[in-house]
Structure 1
Amino acid sequence: RLRPQVRGRHLSVDNLQRGRMSAVTRRLIVTADDFGISTAVNEAVRRGYRDGVLRFASLMVTGEAAADAVDIARRDCPGLGVGLHLVLCSGRPALRPESLEGLLESDGRFPDDPVLCGLRYFFDGGAERRLERELRAQFERFLATGLRPAHVDGHLNIHAHPVVFPLVMRLAREHGFSRVRLPGGEFGVSFGYSRRPLGKQLLEAAVFGMLRAYLLRSHADPRIEVPQRVYGLLRSGLMREEYVREAVRRLPPGTTEIYFHPSADPASEAGAEPRPGHHTCTELRTLTSPGLKTFLDDEGISLVTANV
């Protein structure tokens, strides 16, 4: 379902061979998360696809602006690959609250804190059964949009939870999704770019690194692609162009995904430090930078596109 897209650029004699080699071996998936959470994010996805390097978006089918997101994908972004952004944390469920007793807050939403969600899912013996019903409802709601399924990931990466991930892999196979995200491999780039906040970077890199290794060892499926590296976790909301360039320079051969949280709200500038789930116009500027498009071309990066 995926094919590499390489934009032609004028390459000097010195870098012609390097460009040819890297175009074959260095594949980049560029994704925007939280498509459907708000109209500002939806507009950022539209601009990122139309004017920039964005080629995939992850749809929150329970988001406040999900219907608008689907309309944008159909009307304005015919080549955009759309995947499912599963919500089991900080959002609304697809099922009625009484079907998820013990997993929701009093307002009928999942808790905002992913650690709290993770503990509930791990220690509640009946959670797995209820979570499977909720996940299935979200998969089915995605297919009901008529969009071709591209990939699966999760809000605040809750899909990487040891109880949740096996369910996600099984449902992805059942519903025709061919790729699942697992964060990992970013620490060297992030630490080299900025050591702030060091403790948080170390903790997140260690936790998700161990999760990735365990989940791939226990639940890998040759029918489901998992990118070899995934960047975006450690600089969430703060994916400036210079950071993305540094990450791309250091890309080894293989497939890497870089995910963003862009917003078209001009008041949503990034702060000094990363904030998980924070949508910023800073990241939209990165995605639509003409300089970044040129840089990817000159590096010989193969930009993956969806076969829609």
Structure 2
Amino acid sequence: MSGRQLIITGDDFGMSVEVNEAIEEAHRRGVLTSASLVVAGDAAADAIARARRMPALGVGLHVALLHAPAVLSKEQIADLMDENGRGFGRQVWKTGSSIALFPHVRRQALAEVRAQFELFRKTGLALDHVDGHKHFHQHPWLLGALIALAPEYGIRAIRLPRESAFHSWRAAGCVGLGRRLFDVSAHWPLLRLMRRMLRSAGIASNDWFFGKHDGGAIGRSWVLRLLERLPPGASEIGLHPACRSWPPPYGPPAHWRVSEELAALIDPDVIAACRRPGIRLAKFSDLTAEGAPC
């Protein structure tokens, strides 16, 4: 197994103290190499303070236009907010369609994205990468906006949520091959476009992403099975560790946030497997803009 880089990311950094605690523990005691920060999250200040104490952690911006709190007010981005005005709406199709069809909604979305980058800039943290909450950065308009903002905000790497159906199927214990193949087929044109846009802009990305179908239920055995057949190139495992279940005001139900993923990241066998010859733990800032085509 040569030429395999492995990025292990904790998403939703800043959404809650429970998530922040798990990300810090998984980085200090385990194999977590990066985290994606929700700058408007309820515990963002706590996450930023922790990140400043962990200079080896690659911290990126988790751009959120769905299922999360907003930086701007309801009056500024009314068409993106939920009916209560407490945060973004939950319906991917509705938000995606509105952005695609209506210029005024695109203006609101761009204003919010800029506000999130400005907040990240104020943290003083180096921007390791950019990705999207719920992988919404796959939306062609949003990806185009991120590429346009890249020179201004120093965006050098963006997550490519491209999962190998067979590798993830084996990792999950040979469960759910049909839905994995369907998802790969449905998203292949979008991911191909995404890869082409990133390469044309000279922005680096991972080759593979794992955790799209099994997020919230990734344990020790899952990770070990994946590492047995990790594909060549740069792979990212995207996780949502938490020290304990918590009742988030946005996103999935509380039972989805369990400590199994944290336990996997600090497991001695997982640590040994991640550090064996042929695999190199990395951050997005270690990648180049070159890679294999989709």
Q: Tell me the matched-pair count.
A: 279
Conserved? CA contact 2:36–2:62, under 8 Å = yes
C-alpha change, 1:126 and 1:198, in structure 2 (3 Å) is: farther
Q: Deviations over 1:235-267 (max 9, x none)?
A: 1111122222222222232111111000001x4
Aligned residue in 1 for 2:135: 157
Q: Tell me, in whole angstroms, the C-alpha distance in 2 between the residues paired with 1:152 and 1:136.
A: 13
Aligned residue in 1 for 2:83: 106
Conserved? CA contact 1:37–1:64, under 8 Å = yes
Q: Name the % identity.
A: 35
Aligned residue in 2 for 1:26: 4
Matching residue within 225, 228, 234 for 2:207: 228
Task: State how 1:129-208 maps to structure 2 within 5 Å.
Answer: 129-192=107-170, 193-194=172-173, 196-198=175-177, 200-208=179-187
Q: Which has the larger radius of gyration?
A: 1
C-alpha change, 1:125 and 1:148, in structure 2 (3 Å) is: same
Which ranges of 4 or more aligned residues in structure 1 deviate by more than 6 Å? 274-277
User: Counterpart of 2:8 in 1: which secondary structure?
Assistant: strand
C-alpha change, 1:184 and 1:133, in structure 2 (3 Å) is: same
Shift in Å, 1:154: 0.8
- Using the size of structure 1 for normalisation, the TM-score is 0.83
Q: Which moved more, 1:294-303 or 1:198-207?
A: 198-207
Aligned residue in 1 for 2:62: 85
Q: Deviations over 1:52-104 (max 9, x none)?
A: 000100000010000000011113x2311110001100011111111112221
Shift in Å, 1:299: 4.7
Q: Which runs of 5 or more residues in structure 2 are unaligned? A: 247-251, 287-294
Matching residue within 93, 97, 107 for 2:74: 97
C-alpha change, 1:198 and 1:253, in structure 2 (3 Å) is: closer
- Amino acid in the other structure paired with 2:239: F
Shift in Å, 1:105: 1.4
- Using the size of structure 2 for normalisation, the TM-score is 0.87
Shift in Å, 1:49: 0.5
Matching residue within 223, 228, 232 for 1:249: 228
Q: Tell me, in whole angstroms, the C-alpha distance in 1 between the residues paired with 2:161 and 2:253.
A: 16
Q: Which runs of 5 or more residues in structure 1 are unaligned? A: 1-17, 269-273
Shift in Å, 1:150: 0.4
Conserved? CA contact 1:237–1:275, under 8 Å = no
Q: Tell me, in whole angstroms, the C-alpha distance in 2 between the residues paired with 1:207 and 1:110.
A: 25
Aligned residue in 1 for 2:268: 290
C-alpha change, 1:165 and 1:55, in structure 2 (3 Å) is: same
- Amino acid in the other structure paired with 1:290: P
Q: Which moved more, 1:140-149 or 1:189-198?
A: 189-198
User: Counterpart of 1:97 in 2: which secondary structure?
Assistant: coil
Cα RMSD for the two superposed structures: 2.4
Q: Tell me, in whole angstroms, the C-alpha distance in 2 between the residues paired with 1:48 and 1:159.
A: 26
Matching residue within 30, 38, 53 for 2:31: 53
